[in-house]
Amino acid sequence: MSVVLDLESVSIVRDGATLLDDVSWQVREGERWVVLGANGAGKTTLMQIAAAHLHPSKGRAEILGETLGRTDVFELRPRIGLASAATAERIPPGERIEDVVLTAAYAISGRWRERYDDMDEGRAADLLAAFGIKHLAGRRFGTLSEGERKRVQLARSMMTDPELVLLDEPAAGLDLGSRELLVRDLAGLAQDPTSPVLVLVTHHVEEIPPGFTHVLLLRDGKAVYSGPLNEGLTDANLTATFDVPLRVHHAADRWYAVLKMD
Ligand SMILES: Nc1ncnc2c1ncn2[C@@H]1O[C@H](COP(=O)(O)OP(=O)(O)OP(=O)(O)O)[C@@H](O)[C@H]1O
């Protein structure tokens, strides 16, 4: 299986702070990864590297066969779908949601004078339908609920038919019902063999959709564990990751974690 993401001893230093510290991480075709860690662990920083938006201060990052620093990132970025709080912030509130999805074709976040062909328009419409938001066509992004916005961002992340999709906290701010619907949809994506490689960042094991295969646990910029989900999500690893004693439970293809009380 070919390697989609290959990070070798990657460190990121900003203003004297080490955000990522000697992280090595390999993601292969067909895999679905969860990146789990406490606030400030470095998850978003890692996604910025994986999305070719940030270069390592030290180490080597190879994305879809291209080495950062030796490749044109503007050619690489359209091959990667990204949905994050930062990408959402860049979307003009007055933008119609069809255009929010469509403009991903040019990696921009506000429609201007670019031209789109019927295939692009058709794909954007299909993606709105696939994520259950076709009925919202015509609405302005700024008028949507948080759950609806997350779905629009998900659709946008898939617009270029990317080989790698990075979803940075797609369930943040969702109510229980909306979260569960999102988990169901992500499980559908994960279980579809034609889907791209998926990387999902979260704080909560409850948000891990069935079908995800691997986990990277981050703490203070360092990898605590990187490998198969079933082997990695242990009491000891979660406790080390979040620095509180945790008990993890796996039932009916979902994960749960609570504080150890004894
Ligand atoms: N320019 C910077 N200078 C110094 N520290 C920074 C800078 N940018 C980010 N950081 C710090 O790096 C750490 C990692 O940030 P990052 O956003 O990657 O964490 P995260 O795991 O995504 O956190 P969260 O779960 O809260 O979103 C944080 O402690 C943050 O304050």
Tell me, in angstroms, the distance from the centre of ligand 1 to residue 122's CA: 38
Contact 155, 130 (CB under 8 A): yes
Q: Using H for helix, E for strand and C for coil, what is the string for 148-200?
A: HHHHHHHHHHCCCCCCEEEEECCCCCCCHHHHHHHHHHHHHHHHCCCCCEEEE
pLDDT at residue 115 tops 80: no
**Ligand 1 closest atom vs CA 47:** 18
Interior CA angle at 28 toward 24 and 34, to 5°? 70
For the chain, the average pLDDT equals 93
pLDDT tens per residue across span 77-103: 989 999 998 888 999 999 999 999 999
Average pLDDT over residues 34-40: 96
Of 10, 20, 36, 44, which is best to mutate to test ligand 1, by the most ligand atoms within 8 angstroms of its C-beta?
Answer: 44
- The token pair at 43 is 């998850």
Structural contact between residues 63 and 163, judged by C-beta atoms closer than 8 angstroms: no
For 197-230, what is each residue's pLDDT tens digit? 999 999 999 999 999 999 999 999 999 999 999 9
pLDDT tens across 164-187, in order?
A: 999 999 998 889 998 999 999 999
Q: Which pTM does this prediction carry?
A: 0.93
Task: Centre a 10 Å sphere on the Cβ of residue 106 and count the other Cβ atoms it contains.
Answer: 16
State the closest ligand 1 atom to the C-alpha of 20, by its place in the atom list counted from 1. Answer: 14
- Nearest to 170, CA basis, from 70, 84, 104: 84
Closest Cα to atom 8 of ligand 1: 14
Contact 150, 97 (CB under 8 A): no
- Give the residue with greater pLDDT, 63 vs 172: 63
Look at residues 108, 206, 205, 103 and name the one whose alpha carbon lies nearest to residue 159: 103
Name the residue with tokens 């070798």: 8
CA distances to 88, 98, 101, 175, 189 from 152, rounded to whole Å, are 10, 9, 7, 17, 15
Core vs surface per residue 221-254: b (16+ CB within 10 A) or e: bbbbbbeebeebbeeebbbebbeeebebeeeeeb
Q: Which of 169, 14, 161 is nearest to 88 (CA)?
A: 169
In this structure, the chain runs to a length of 262
pLDDT band (50, 70, 90) for residue 120: confident
> Which ligand 1 atom sits closest to the C-alpha of 42?
18
pLDDT at 80: 95
Domains in the chain (CATH in brackets) are 3-87+164-259 (3.40.50.300)
Predicted local confidence at residue 128, as pLDDT? 94
Say yes or no: CB of residue 162 within 6 Å of ligand 1. Answer: no
CA of 10 to the centre of ligand 1 (A): 16
